[in-house]
Amino acid sequence: MEPAKLNKIKKAFARQGGIIDQSADAQAYLRLRGAEGVTFDSKTILLPENTTISAVFEEFIHTAQHRTGRVNQLIEAFGNVKAELILEIEAAEKLIRHRKAYHIPPIETRQTIQRLKLLRQAFGR
């Protein structure tokens, strides 16, 4: 994602009390987890330095899942592992559904479709 666009998004999220952390510590944590992004709650996102449009919007989808109580609802119903798969599946489906509105490049959409297939297999769908 181009830096100017990401900075605009970061400033808008900060005005709502949110933090997008791309610090050295955040980079180390993402490498440790092997993740393109991590959302801790409705206000805290970690992103790699060279992030993609898909990764940014996926983490915002996860903040909404926290805000609406979806995360806690699924954890209570299924436990952490299954809940995480469901949340990832829902986020991937939304990224694909709204790819035009989010201006997601076709290559990123193809990658999301592939990841969605793997997530569904892992979940048993």
pLDDT (tens, 9 = 90+) of the chain, 125 residues, equals: 999 999 999 999 999 999 999 999 999 999 999 999 999 999 999 999 999 999 999 999 999 999 999 999 999 999 999 999 999 999 999 999 999 999 999 999 999 999 999 999 999 86
Q: How many CB atoms lie within 10 A of CB 82?
A: 15
> 53 near 3, Cβ under 8 Å?
no
- Identify the three-state secondary structure at position 19: strand
- Output the six-digit token pair for 46: 């970690």
H/E stretch holding 27 reads helix 24-33
pTM summary value: 0.94
d(CA 70, CA 83): 9
Give the domain range for residue 37. 3-123
Number of folded domains that form the chain: 1
- Output the six-digit token pair for 94: 């939304």
